[in-house]
């Protein structure tokens, strides 16, 4: 059987070096992820037994079965370490396991542009896009890193890993927005090059001191505005269209995004070589990131699971047919249609949870409510106001982004909707009398981040952001662009109040459970 199994692996296109690169780190299986080795060994035995059965049935790619162990990648990745990026890396998160699937197979990272320092502050792209945090960062890992390095890790670089570069960098309080909310400073010249703004910006509150700083502020020799945002997930880019790579859509391509990121976050020149750009983009496009196991719901990638669960199905799906509006079937977007061996009458925790996920999936795609007072909604749903569902805006089937790469103002940075956030700056936006006002907020707007308006200079774009992916959420809290939702319950509560959806408590929990398995 052993010979037959290896023969099967080769015929399936799974190279044995790739296979063993993932499963070889067994002693300990993955100590840095906190998984006891006895549990890990039991998992490995279960995988091997299952893999043999599946090989006989030729039912699914064997690689999908091997990714139930733990490890393969550092829990925190530093630049220039030369570690190998495995075929698959699995980590514990707040509700189960997150899996990063590298379709290019196990690869060396020495001198690879995504993993190498390209600027002056010891960072690489990997610094702020960690596999253990679904290719982003989360509060647990950041605070661990602060303790381990006493704040000297490159992720805490003064330029944007602190509240402002002028603050004393050895003090933990100077990095409070990153450590407590997962926010990096995004700093841009104001006005942007070539833009004639339709509004003025007044700083009403500046808890970080950066927007009124003599060197880094709006009235400095080089007028600069500082806002604070979560880093977006790197992965599943097969399903994203141009402009969906940053919160404000300032980068239309992955190449532009890479150049901008190296300039801003790595303090490089931004003059990347064609080879460096190619390496970064190719690597980003071969990553698929999703939950693979839930503590209560069990294995999300088992044979017969819904085709939107786990990274394997994403990697096998072509996006060509998923973006056309004419072909939309909103009941199918991110839909969990069924579970293998479903037992709807069972009171067992796993079965109860899975039934909740099914209900949450249907609520997400079919439960209607009025979507109004949302600037730029017509870019997303085709109408200025409409009755819709969660899937109206989170419409791309496999990621939950907008399949139009559109931006809209759902209120996550507007004081009147998100509430007062004393940890963040507060700006007063006053639109020029000859400019088109914000369609719902008028000519005077209070916000902690003008969003897309910083790129376009348009008053009507204040507060608009590009929809985010919904993949790997348990590994990368907090949520929304400014980290203003601590958990998925707060996300659902925000939308419930924002659009008067009147979700029941059961519907809210079902939505949370559904989003937690994506």
In the structure, what pLDDT confidence band is assigned to residue 57 with cuts at 50, 70 and 90? very low
- What lies within 8 Å, CB to CB, of 296 at 6+ separation is 349, 350, 353
Tokens read off for 410: 């759902």
CB 61 within 8 Å of CB 285: no
- Alpha-carbon distance of 481 to 479, in angstroms, equals 7
- Alpha-carbon distance of 518 to 303, in angstroms, equals 17
Write 249-257 long-range contacts (CB < 8 A, 24+): 249/405, 249/407, 249/452, 249/455, 249/466, 250/455, 254/280, 254/281, 254/284, 254/285, 255/281
Percent over 90 (pLDDT), the chain: 70
Taken in order of first residue, the domains within the chain and their CATH numbers are 329-473+485-516 (1.10.760)
**Secondary element (H or E) of residue 5:** helix 2-11
Percent over 70 (pLDDT), the chain: 82
For the packed helices 505-515 and 488-498, what is the interaxial angle rounded to 10 degrees? 130
Q: Comparing 193-202, 281-290, 320-329, 446-455, which segment has the lowest mean pLDDT?
A: 320-329
Please write the tens of the pLDDT for every residue from 484-517. 999 999 999 999 999 999 999 999 999 999 999 9
Indicate whether 459 pLDDT > 90: yes
| Ramachandran area for residue 307 (φ above 0: left; ψ -120 to 50: alpha; else beta) | alpha
Q: Comparing 165-174, 335-344, 477-486, which segment has the lowest mean pLDDT?
A: 335-344
> What is the predicted pLDDT for the residue at 319?
66
- Alpha-carbon distance of 430 to 402, in angstroms, equals 29
Pick the closest to residue 181 from 134, 230, 144, 220 (CA basis). 230
Please write the tens of the pLDDT for every residue from 354-371. 999 999 999 999 999 999
Please write the tens of the pLDDT for every residue from 65-103. 343 335 678 999 999 999 999 999 999 999 999 999 999
Residue 359 CB neighbour total at 10 angstroms: 19
CB 212 within 8 Å of CB 206: yes
CB 484 within 8 Å of CB 448: no
- Alpha-carbon distance of 441 to 410, in angstroms, equals 12
- What lies within 8 Å, CB to CB, of 207 at 6+ separation is 163, 422, 423, 424, 425
Which of 145 and 12 is assigned the larger pLDDT?
145
CB 407 within 8 Å of CB 464: yes
Please write the tens of the pLDDT for every residue from 159-178. 999 999 999 999 999 999 99
Q: What is the CA radius of gyration of the chain?
A: 23
């Amino acid at each position: 059987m052993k010979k037959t199994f290896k023969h099967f692996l080769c015929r399936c296109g799974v190279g044995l070096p790739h296979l063993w690169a993932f499963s070889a780190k067994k002693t300990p299986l993955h100590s840095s992820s906190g998984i006891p080795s006895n549990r890990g060994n039991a998992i490995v035995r279960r995988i091997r037994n299952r893999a043999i059965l599946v090989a006989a049935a030729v039912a699914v790619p064997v690689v999908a079965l091997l990714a139930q162990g733990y490890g393969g990648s550092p829990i925190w990745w530093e630049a220039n370490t030369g570690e190998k990026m495995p075929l698959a890396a699995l980590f514990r998160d707040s509700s189960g396991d997150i899996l990063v699937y590298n379709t290019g197979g196990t690869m060396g990272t020495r001198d690879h542009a995504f993993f190498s320092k390209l600027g002056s502050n010891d960072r690489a792209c990997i610094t702020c896009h960690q596999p253990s945090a679904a290719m982003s960062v989360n509060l647990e890992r950041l605070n661990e890193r602060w303790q381990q390095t006493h704040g000297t890790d490159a992720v805490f670089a003064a330029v944007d890993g602190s509240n402002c570069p002028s603050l004393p960098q050895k003090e933990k309080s100077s990095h409070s927005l990153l450590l407590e909310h997962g926010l990096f400073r995004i700093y841009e010249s104001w006005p942007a090059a070539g833009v004639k703004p339709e509004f003025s910006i007044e700083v009403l509150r500046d808890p970080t001191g950066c927007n009124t700083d003599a060197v880094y502020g709006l009235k400095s020799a080089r007028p600069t505005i500082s806002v604070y945002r979560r880093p977006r997930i790197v992965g599943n880019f097969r399903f994203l269209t141009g402009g969906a790579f940053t919160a404000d859509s300032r980068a239309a391509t992955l190449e532009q995004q890479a150049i901008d990121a190296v300039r801003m976050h790595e303090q490089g020149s931004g003059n990347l070589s064609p080879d460096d750009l190619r390496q970064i983009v190719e690597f980003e496009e071969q990553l698929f990131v999703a939950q693979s196991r839930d503590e209560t719901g069990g294995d999300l990638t088992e044979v017969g699971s819904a085709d939107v669960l786990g990274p394997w199905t994403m990697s096998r799906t072509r996006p060509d047919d998923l973006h056309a509006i004419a072909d939309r079937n909103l009941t199918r977007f991110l839909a969990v249609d069924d579970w293998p061996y479903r037992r709807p009458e069972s009171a067992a925790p796993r079965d109860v949870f899975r039934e909740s996920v099914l209900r949450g999936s249907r609520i997400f795609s079919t439960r209607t409510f009025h979507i109004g007072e949302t600037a730029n909604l017509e870019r997303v749903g085709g109408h200025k106001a409409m009755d819709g569902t969660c899937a109206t805006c989170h419409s791309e089937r496999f990621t939950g982004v907008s399949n139009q790469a559109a931006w809209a103002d759902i209120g996550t940075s507007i004081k009147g909707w998100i509430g007062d956030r004393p940890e963040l700056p507060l700006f007063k936006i006053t639109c020029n009398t000859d400019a088109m006002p914000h369609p719902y907020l008028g000519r005077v707007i209070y916000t902690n981040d003008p969003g897309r308006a910083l790129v376009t200079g348009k008053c009507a774009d204040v507060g608009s952001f590009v929809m985010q992916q919904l993949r790997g959420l348990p590994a990368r809290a907090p949520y929304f662009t400014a980290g203003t939702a601590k958990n998925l319950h707060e996300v659902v509560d925000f939308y419930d109040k924002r659009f008067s959806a009147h979700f029941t408590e059961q519907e809210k929990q079902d939505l949370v459970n559904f989003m937690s398995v994506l």
